Structure 1
Amino acid sequence: MSIVEIQNVSITYHRKSTPTVANVDASFEAGTITALVGPNGAGKSTLLKSVADVVDFDGEVMIDGAPLRSYSRREKVKQVAFVAQHGNANSELLARQVVELSRMASKGPFARQTDEDHEAISHAVEHADVAHLMDRTWNTLSGGEQQRVQLARAISQSAKVLLLDEPTNHLDIHHQFRLMGQLRHLATDHNVCVIVAMHDLGLASRYCDQIVLLEDGELVKSGAPHEVFTPERLMSVFGIDAEITTVGGHLDLAVNSAVPNWKHHHEPKEGLAH
C-alpha cells in the first residue's frame, strides 16, 4: 500500500498564468526511495514542497491514508520530515540545537526531552555522521556540513516520510555516495518512504527504486529506473546522448555528450506506470 499519494496536484505561483505543476498523480511506498527528476523548471522541488505542505496546491496529497491538510502541525511532524535545499536555521544556534529542535516541534513549548528523544537524536547524529559538528555554530558550517546537519535533524523526527530537495548539491563526491547509502539504509532497514528531488541521473538510477520524470510541470513517466531512463527519452527530455547498461545489478547511465543543435520538444506524457 502506498504511504504517499499525490492526486491531481497542480501548483500555480502568484502572478504566473501557467501552473508550475499541472495535474500530477503519483504514489510512493514505504521502504523505497523515489527520485523526482527533470530539467530545470520541470517542477521537481515544487512538487516535493506540496508533500511537505509548504506551498499552496490544488488537488490532494494523502499521507498514510489521510489528507495531508487534515493533520495538525504536531501530527504532521510525525508523518513528514523535510530537508530544504537551503537551510534557514538561526545562525547563532549550535548544530546540536538545530537537531534537537526537530523533536520539540511535535511537543508543547515547555516540554522536556525524554529518553526517547535523546535516543532518536543520538541515532540521527550517528547515522548522518555529524557528531564532530555538534558543538559548532551554524554560521561556521560549510554548505555541505549544514546539509548533513539538516539530514540529522530530519532523521531525528522519526517520521514515516523523508523529503529532500537537492540534498547532494553542496556535497563532495564521497559524501554524495555516502548520503545516498544512508538514505538506502533508512528505506530498507527502517521502512521510511524517501522522496528526493535531484539532478544527478546517475545517482538516481543507482540508488532509487522509482523515478518520477517531470517536464514543464507535467508527469512524463514514472516507474523503475530501467522503465523511465531510455536513450530516446533522455535525448528528448534532457538533450543528451547516453548509454545505459546494467552493472552489478544497478542501472549505469553514461552520458556521451550534449546533443548538438538540440531543441526542446515536449515528450509525450505517458502517465503513471504501475
Structure 2
Amino acid sequence: MTGSELRPAEVCWNEVSVLLSGRTVVDRVSLDAGANSWTAIIGPNGAGKTTLLRALVGTVEYQGTILVGGDESKSIRTRDRARRIAFVPQHPVVPPGLRVFDYILLGRSPYQGLRLAASADDRNRTVEVLDRLHLSSLADRSVDSLSGGERQRAVVARSLAQDAPILVLDEPTTFLDLGHQLELLELVAGLREEHGLTVITTLHDLSVVGHFADHIAVIDAGRLVAEGPVAEVLVPNVIARHWNVEAQTEVHDDGSVSVSVQRRRRD
C-alpha cells in the first residue's frame, strides 16, 4: 500500500496561512501531495490539520497559494472544484430520513443542471457505487439508521459518486472501533488503486497511519514541522517531540511502519 517514489504534485500548498478570529491557525505551510499518492497530515490536537484541508476545499479564506492540478484553487468555480475534489468532512451533515440511495445520488450534483435533476447516468452511477461499496442491500434504508461503519461507507460512497480524482478525508476513522477503522482505510486504499485517486487525509491514530500513507506531513502549532516518506517521518524522536510520548517503530519490507506507543514521555 505504500511507496516512496516521487510523483508530480496534484495539490500544492505554497506559503499558506489561515487566520481565524484573529489567531493564526495555519502558518506559512508549503506542502505537495503527489498525484495518485496517499498523503496523511498528522499532528497533535488543535495543530491546524483540519483547517489546512478546509483551505483546500474552499471553506475558509487563506493567504498564499493552493494549486490543484496547476490551477489556483481560488480561481476554480465551486462546481468545477467539486468535480476535482471530493471532500469527506469529520462531521458530515445528513438530512434526517434521507435514503442511502438519495444521499449517494447527491454526489452527482456537480454534473447536474441548475434544477439538479438527476439523469439516468447519474442514477446508474449511484447503483454502481452502491454495489462497489457493498451498500446495495441498504439502499432504501435511511442514513441515520445505519451503524457507524455503514454510515462512513455511505459517506465515502457519496464522495466516490463525484468521480473526482482527489479524495480528501478529515479524520474519517474518529468514531469507529479499530476493526471498522481498518475496514474503512482498506476500502480507501482499494479505491485509490482501482481509480488512481490522489488521497489526502488527516488522521490521529499513529498505529494505523503508517500502514496506508505514502507520504506524511506533521503539523504542530500551525506549522509544518516534518514531512517525507513514512519510514523517514514516523520515527521515535519525531513522535516524542510532537506527541510527548515514547514509542517504538518498525519498518517493514514494503515501506510501511508499525508504531507502538509505550508511555507518556518522561522529561
Provide the TM-score with structure 1 as the length reference. 0.89
Q: 1:121 aligns with which of 119, 126, 134?
A: 126
Q: Partners in 1 of 2:128 and 2:200 — Cα distance?
A: 21
**Shift in alpha-carbon separation, 1:123–1:224, aligned structure 2, 3 A:** farther
What corresponds to 2:218 in structure 1?
A: 213
**For residues 60 and 97 of structure 1, what CA distance do their matches in structure 2 show?**
36
In structure 1, what is the equivalent of residue 48 of structure 2? 43
SS at match of 2:192: helix
Change (3 A) 1:217 1:127: farther
Letter in 1 for 2:265: V
How big is the shift at 1:106? 3.0
> Among residues 16, 30, 39, which one is paired with 1:9 in the alignment?
16
Matched residue SS, 1:158: coil
Unaligned 5+ runs, structure 1? 263-274
Q: Contact between 1:42 and 1:217, CA under 8 Å: does it hold in 2? A: yes
For residue 85 of structure 1, what is the amino acid of its counterpart?
Answer: Q
Q: Are 1:253 and 2:259 counterparts?
A: yes
Percentage identity across paired residues of the two chains: 29
Distance across 2 between alignment mates of 1:175 and 1:128:
14
Deviation, 1:168, is 0.7
Structure 2 residue ranges without an equivalent (≥5): 1-7
Local SS of the residue matching 1:20: strand
Structure 1 position 204, deviation (Å): 1.0
- How far the C-alpha of 1:45 sits from its partner, in A, is 0.8
Among 230, 235, 243, the alignment partner of 1:225 is 230
Across the aligned residues of Structure 1 and Structure 2, the Cα RMSD in angstroms comes to 1.7
Q: Does 1:73 align with 2:75?
A: no
> Aligned equivalents of 1:70 and 1:251: distance in 2?
38
TM-score where L is the length of structure 2: 0.91
Equivalent residue, structure 1, for 2:95 = 90
Offset at residue 143 of structure 1 (A) = 3.8
Match in the other structure for 1:180: 185
Distance 2:77 2:97 in 1: 29
Candidates 124, 140, 144, aligned match of 1:135:
140
Q: In the comparison of the two structures, how many residue pairs are matched?
A: 259
Q: Give 3-state SS (helix, strand or coil) of 1:206's partner.
A: coil
Structure-2 residue corresponding to 1:268: none
Measured in 2, the distance between the counterparts of 1:191 and 1:133 equals 27
1-structure distance, mates of 2:120, 2:34: 30
| Greater Cα offset, 140-149 or 107-116 | 107-116
Pairing of 1:154-165 with structure 2 (within 5 A): 154-165=159-170
Deviation, 1:246, is: 2.2
2:101 touches 2:126 (CA, 8 Å); kept in 1?
no
Q: Distance in 2 between matches of 1:119 and 1:245?
A: 45
The CA deviation at 1:171 is 1.9
C-alpha displacement of 1:119: 4.1
Secondary structure, aligned partner of 1:11: strand
CA offsets 1:182-214 (integer angstroms, 9 cap, x no match):
221222231111001110112111110000100
